[in-house]
Amino acid sequence: MPENVHNSASPVTTGGASFNAAALVLADGTVYHGAGIGAVGSSVGEVCFNTSMTGYQEIVTDPSYAGQIITFTFPHIGNVGTNDEDIETITPAARGIVLRMDITEPSNWRASRHLDAWLKSHGLVGVCGIDARALTRRIRDGGPPSGVVAQAKPGETLDLDALVEQAKAFPGLEGMDLAKDVTCRQTHGWTEGAWAIGSGYAAAGEAKRKVVAIDYGCKRNILRCLTDIGCDVTVVPATATAEEVLRHNPDGVFLSNGPGDPAATGEYAVPVIREIVAAGKPVFGICLGHQMLALALGCATEKMTLGHRGANQPVKDFTTGKVEITSQNHGFRVKRESLPDGVVETHRSLFDGTLEGIRLAGRPVFSVQYHPEASPGPRDSHYLFRRFANMIDGVEE
């Protein structure tokens, strides 16, 4: 039997509800016992943590979390329920969730379903009632481990030895191409704009620019932001060729966020990006798109010990000298020392000094490591979409 067993931090507040046996089991044999939420079953992945205080539904539906089990450090998850609007993709790619407390009862006028029911509807396994603080320290000090989140059927117990072996068998995200799992299956247009109280998501207005977005796991709110700056957006799969992108005669090309190792996805994506840059098209990349643009420009990437996941990350923009609070979700980064001549650092993390943005000198090509669409998170970085529009229009900042 596993020896490193952690009991719940404190009794779970059930409110009269009945819970199944559940646990988070790590590859080193550590077991965090808790109570089951969401679907019955087990799911294996890389265990990470997110420090955001809002937006749990957007986080769980962010395709960038493919292959990962998300630990929420904020205790009151579920307090606004769930709805059919605050999603970044229809089918969540995350492997499961871990909570400190039982799911909070929803108290929001937009809530249409309890978080537990929503998790069950998507087959997402979760565990609550564990010592999330201890787990977060474990990840902080040792990096994100492989683990299994599991919930037993009513009246049954968990086979901990089998779960440890399942966790050990997970290869980790390094070298893993996950973009193919979460990308769209065919080319399509996007016509939805920003959400507003009373009217929902706006319809696209007059389009002044044609943009092709390459979908490596694109969040919906990114596409909405492109629509809001007057772009006619066409979305193409991650495996689209340069010819398939350029046949749309775009005014600019957007490289989306996504999961997995940029070097793995870059085996087929980087040659395409190089051709697009060589064609003289303005290019804007974020997150995985940023990392693969960097690879296409001759840089190198690496797995981070910890990664950045939260909505409170300070970043300095060297172009303006301003500091913005950003929303982030990445476990890989571009190595600053690998930047060749002509590739300029534009943004830097004020937490740990990570390179957070680059541009190609003399060309309308740039990218950032974080999520300027801010869903969830602060909107400090929305200006980057306008910067992209200005580059397309040939407007100097």
Which tens digits make up the pLDDT trace of 39-59? 999 999 999 999 999 999 999
Contact 182, 91 (CB under 8 A): no
Q: Give the model's pLDDT for residue 202.
A: 87
* Domain 179-393 part of CATH 3.40.50.10710: no
Q: Give the model's pLDDT for residue 106.
A: 96
Q: Which of 48, 218, 287, 299 is catalytic?
A: 287
373 catalytic? Reply is yes
Q: Taking the domains of the chain in order of start, what are their residue ranges?
A: 5-169, 179-393
371 catalytic? Reply is yes
Q: Give the model's pLDDT for residue 163.
A: 98
Low-confidence ranges of the chain (pLDDT < 50): 1, 3, 7-16
Task: List own/partner pairs for 196-204 with CB under 8 A and 24 or more apart.
Answer: 200/85, 201/85, 202/228, 204/232
Q: Which of 46, 88, 324, 373 is catalytic?
A: 373
Two tokens, residue 10: 């404190």
33 catalytic? Reply is no
Q: Give the model's pLDDT for residue 200.
A: 85
Q: Give the model's pLDDT for residue 6.
A: 55
Two tokens, residue 16: 């009269």
E-strand stretches of the chain: 5-6, 21-26, 31-38, 41-50, 68-72, 96-98, 125-128, 146-151, 188-190, 192-196, 200-203, 209-215, 231-237, 252-255, 283-286, 301-317, 323-334, 343-349, 355-360, 365-368
Q: Which CATH class is domain 5-169?
A: alpha beta
Q: Give the model's pLDDT for residue 203.
A: 87
Q: Give the model's pLDDT for residue 5.
A: 56
